[in-house]
Amino acid sequence: MHVLLATDADWIVDEVTAALGGPDTSFTVCRDGHAVAKVVAERDPDVVITDLQVGSMGGMAITMALRLDESAGALPHVPVVMLLDRSADVYLAQRSEAEAWLIKPLDALRLRRAVDAAVAGDAYTEGLPALVVDATADDTAVETVEADSAEEEPANAG
């Protein structure tokens, strides 16, 4: 798998390469958001991981530029995983049509899940309410919205 990582933060490069690195994974780091589309055309990555802030062009603008070039036939579709600073940024990820997004701080398991989902054509999202549909006794569907949490409750061992 070839990963294009768009960030100007060294700690993001370190965390992403540590989490996703392996013998079958290569990385291209792009520290200028304006150059991402050109690098996508040259390198044909399997996935783009973009930080929310990359110099003077953020992850939302990068993703929207990729989608615009795709719709014009200038670039193939490339799945995007956006790294968000806070849960309020989820709206930006949704509007930009990113396949997946994570809310920092990052961890290897969540990052791997997000990338695997995006590459498979699925979505991975954080910070959205979960929609639970319950059936009542008379088979009427009742929708309940519950808060989504990136952390799971610990299970008791006994």
Contact 3, 45 (CB under 8 A): yes
d(Cα 91, Cα 25) in Å, to the nearest integer?
A: 30
* C-beta contacts of 101-110 below 8 A and 24+ residues apart: 101/125, 101/126, 101/127, 102/126, 103/127, 103/150, 106/12, 106/15, 106/16, 106/19, 107/19, 108/15, 108/18, 108/19, 110/150
Structure tokens at 87: 């849960």
Where are the chain's structural domains? Answer: 2-128
Tell me the β-bridge partners of 47. 3
The pTM of this model reads 0.80
User: Degrees (nearest 5) of the Cα angle 139, 140, 145?
Assistant: 125
Give per-residue pLDDT as tens, 18-74. 999 999 999 999 999 999 999 999 999 999 999 998 888 889 999 999 999 999 999
- What gap in Å lies between CA 59 and CA 103, rounded to an integer? 13
Give the residue among 39, 60, 42 at the shortest CA–CA distance from 51.
60
pLDDT in tens, 100-145: 999 999 999 999 999 999 999 999 998 876 544 455 555 545 444 4
Confidence of residue 151 (pLDDT cuts 50, 70, 90): very low
Report yes or no: 93 and 82 within 8 Å, Cβ to Cβ: yes
User: Would you state the structure tokens that stand for residue 4, as one six-digit string?
Assistant: 């294009």
Q: What CATH number does the domain located at 2-128 have?
A: 3.40.50.2300
- The type of residue at 53 is Q
Q: Could you give the strand order of the β-sheet that contains 80-84, starting from the edge strand earlier in sequence? A: 26-30, 2-6, 47-51, 80-84, 100-103
